[in-house]
Structures are given as C-alpha cells and as structure tokens.
Structure 1
Amino acid sequence: MRFLFRVFVNVSILLTFALGTFAQLYKYQVTSNNKVIGSVEAHQKGNGSLRHIIIKSRLQLKLIGNVNTDIEAEFKNNHLLSASSTRLTNKEEEKNKNKTTTQLVDKNYQIVHDGKKSELKQAIQFVVGDLYFTEPKDIKSVYSETQGQMLDIRALNDGQYELIMPDGKKNVYTYAKGKLIEVEVNHVLGKVYFKLIDS
C-alpha cells in the first residue's frame, strides 16, 4: 500500500511539472511607525503558457480608514494580456476614481486610469506584481497595474531595488536568496513596510 502511495505521489509531481502547473502564495505584514496596520497577500499560479497574479492589500489608515486594494494580471507566454487594479476606501464616491484597467488589443494596450483612456505601444512582460515573485535582475522598467504606466526601476545594493513612482517617491524592494522579504513604501503619510511572514 505504501509503495502504491509513493508511486501515486511521484507520478502526480511529475505530471505537475510536465504540464507546467504551479502556485505560489506569500503573506506580508504591513507596519507603520512600528504598528501593524494591515496585510498583503501575493498569489501567483500558472498552467502551461498561462500565468495569473493576484495581489490583495488590506490596510487600516488613521486619516483615511480602510483601504482595500485588489490587483490582478493575466499573462500568456510571459506577455501581459490584461490587468486591473481597484482601490476602495470608506468613501463610496471614490470607488470609480481608483480603478485602472489594462487590456491588450491587437498589439497595443488600451488603458483606463481614473476614467481617462490612453494607449501604450510596447510589449509588457514585467509588472509591479511580478516583483513579489521574481527578483528584477537586469530589469530597467516595470508596468504599474495601478498607475497604468511604465515605471523605472534600478538596482541599489545587493538584493535591493528602487521603484520610482510617478510623483518621484521611491519604493525599495529587498530580496534574500531571490525571495522578496521587505518592501519600503514612501507616501504622503510616511513610510510603510511590508515584511514577509509566510511563504
């Protein structure tokens, strides 16, 4: 009986790799001024040439209240097919203002950000969501599913990378052995840290 179980497990593992199916889940605790203010979950799954990223952020901010952000990105053959980002706060009227969608149409991307339409005429292979799963070695720019535009990224010290936001603020991503262990986010309310707690 044990022999059959081992054979079944080995065959299942081989089929999983042969079909290219995988899943990753990372959980981060969010702190500000040494106080826990929320959590981030980063989930990636793939099957053959298809890949799907989901990022869920749940924050409790003093001046704003609850801020829930959901980001999704779909890839085929490592090219972005579509992405969406929705940020909801306690204020109902802000729901439509904080949504961004990106859709590949023919060879260009149709983007709607804060109700404004634009087009991006370049291939997108790396998005901000990818930073949770892949150290951006030799990557110079990434597409922001939230901002609806390309952002510059540059290497700092070993395992550290600086993502430059549209307003000039810089977020720092820190990796250990290729795994994202911390994000330092700089915004109007000060510094916020995402620290890996489970993977």
Structure 2
Amino acid sequence: MNYKIIRGGNDIGHLQLEKKIIGTKSNLMLTSEIKTHLLFLITVLVKESAIFENGKLIYSSQFRKTNGATKMDKQTLLVEDKYVVTENGEKEKLNLPLIDCNVLSLYFKEPLTVKSVYSDKQQCYINLTKMNDGGYKIKFADGNTNSFYYQNGVCTKVKINNPFYSIEIIHQP
C-alpha cells in the first residue's frame, strides 16, 4: 500500500507498507522518505519491520536516518518469553507480557478492541483512545500524538502532531 505525506498542504514524501504472510508468521514492513524545510532542509529515511508469529511479536526493528546521520537503529527480539532490545550495541531485557499489537501494526489493521499498543521506540505500552471523529489516538510521553483513521478496515489516514510540525499520511488507492 502506498501513502503520500503532506505538511501544510505540500507533498513532502511517501510511505510504503507491505505485509507478507508465511504460515503462522506475518511480516510487516514500513518504508518512508520525507524531504521538507523546517529551518533548513531535512531529509528523513525510516524503515520499520515487525514479525508476528501466532499473533505475538517475535521481532521488530526501527531504523531512522536524518540528513545522512543514523538517529535510531533498534531491534527487539523475543527470547524465551522475554523481549531483548538491542540499540547501539547495548542489550536490555524487558519485563513485559507478550506483545500482540505495536504501533506499526496500526497501519495494517483497525484496532477495534485494542486498548493499548506497544511502542518499539519508547519500549512501553501506550494507551489507545477511540475519538469522537472515528479515529484512534495514541499520545506519547513527550506529548506527541498519532491519530489513525480507517475505512472498511484499511488505514486511510494518519495525523502526526508534535510541537514543531503536523503532517498527514494519506492512503493512495
């Protein structure tokens, strides 16, 4: 599935989603590239993936590069019913229940009965709120919000708000 990324009415990038199902495994992939001006030209490349087996997260990765510099390179791996996060060569064990829904999975399926989602970036669960306008909102610890909108179960729009900018990710059928 393809999306365009809009800021202030201008097309600033693209986002591509891909889902592959092999047996009991679902592989989710997101790739995006943004080029915009805030105070200067900013180019952001994002690659995220998640593998769920029998509905439980067994692996995820997040990679972000801004203006050529790697800003995030993080992996989460399920090892003997515990998650191990590797970032910058450091490993950390998380004491969390098995994860069945993370932020990336919101792009692929409407969270009709989900109350919280796992944030791979922040390594914790975040509440998911159903909004009056039909969307689902997550609010991160830093105050940033992502709101997801669906039509017939397909994510058609994502609104991302933070103090410095607001963008919309719009599905391109």
Normalising by the residue count of structure 1, what TM-score does the alignment of the two structures yield? 0.79
How does 1:28-177 map onto structure 2 within 5 Å?
28-62=3-37, 63=40, 65-92=42-69, 95=70, 97-113=71-87, 117-118=91-92, 119-157=94-132, 159-177=134-152
Q: Report sequence identity in percent.
A: 27
Pair member with larger Rg: 1
* TM-aligned CA deviation for residue 116 of structure 1: 5.5
Partner of residue 160, structure 2: 185
Provide the C-alpha distance between the structure 1 equivalents of 2:124 and 2:87, rounded to a whole number of angstroms.
9
> Structure 2 unaligned runs (5+)?
none
On the 8 A contact 1:142/1:152 being kept in 2, the answer is yes
Q: Gapped runs of 5+ residues in structure 1?
A: 1-25
Query: Residues 69-104 of structure 1, C-alpha deviation per residue, up to 9 Å, x if partnerless?
Result: 000111111111110000011243xx1x41221010
Scaled by the length of structure 2, the TM-score of the pair is 0.90
Aligned length: 170
- Aligned-residue Cα RMSD (Å) equals 1.7
1:172 and 1:130 map into 2 onto residues whose CA distance is 13
Quickly say closer, same or farther: Cα 1:80–1:116, change in 2 above 3 A. Answer: same
Q: Higher helix share goes to which structure?
A: 1
More divergent stretch after superposition (113-122 vs 50-59) = 113-122
Give, as a single letter, the amino acid of the residue that structure 1 aligns with 2:137. E
